[in-house]
Structure 1
Amino acid sequence: MIYELRIYYIKPGKMEDIHNRFSNLTIDLFKKHGMNTLDFWEDAEGKNIIYYILEHKDMEAREQNFYNFKKDPKWIEGKRISELNGPIVEKVESVFMKRVPYSPFNKIV
């Protein structure tokens, strides 16, 4: 498995919009397209940043799943509607990670 930390820098005044889009659209579409969402966080210092982690089988699966997600008519229309008052996200960064053998999480799974 690989884990993708995604960091979204949100435009000022758009935090409610991104929360609505994730909770009402994006998470279900991720699941539909084989992407497991592990958790979400807001920046603890009040910055307009959302962090979340996706789990993928491997990089090839990640690329195919995101390709299918971005082509999904529900995503295209939902994104369009959510941005009628302007873009929500300024920038997205991704960091790819692999779990180390001594991770405490390995004992849970």
Structure 2
Amino acid sequence: MFELRIYTIHEGRMNAIRDRFADHTLGIFERLGMKVVDFWIDAAGQPKLYYLMAYADIAERQRLWERFRQDPEWMEAKRQSEADGGPIVAKVEEYFMERADFFRKGG
């Protein structure tokens, strides 16, 4: 199962979200066993960040995100990153997907 997460970022806060992911979030994901497939920024320059996560099933997804939200390192990183400029993320969209059985990559 895959989850596409789309973050709409508050104006002027793209560098803050990039820094938070690079300096904290990705390491926490790795420590907790959360699998990131890839990241993208908006090609049209919109204040959006896109990333794809992989899970065994919805139960694993729920368990991992609960652990993440309660993680002391995450809570401190979020607090510090928002201390000066306020909230970074204005909106989070989550889309859950499974591979289409009719498509075979490479032919």
Q: CA RMSD in A?
A: 1.3
Unaligned runs of 5+ in 1: none
Once superposed, which parts of structure 1, at least 4 consecutive aligned residues long, lie more than 2 Å away? none
Percent of aligned pairs with the same amino acid: 42
Match of 2:57 in 1: 58
The number of residue pairs the alignment matches comes to 105
Q: Does the alignment pair 1:79 with 2:78?
A: yes
CA displacement 1:51-98 (0-9 Å, x = unmatched): 000001110000000000111100000000000121000000000000
Match of 1:26 in 2: 25
**Under a length normalisation based on structure 1, what TM-score does the superposition of the two structures give?**
0.92
CA displacement 1:4-58 (0-9 Å, x = unmatched): 0000000000000000001111111112222100110011111000000000111
Whether the aligned pair in 2 keeps the contact of 1:11 and 1:89 (CA below 8 Å) is yes
Whole-Å Cα distance in 2 between the matches of residues 34 and 67 of structure 1?
13
Match of 2:93 in 1: 93
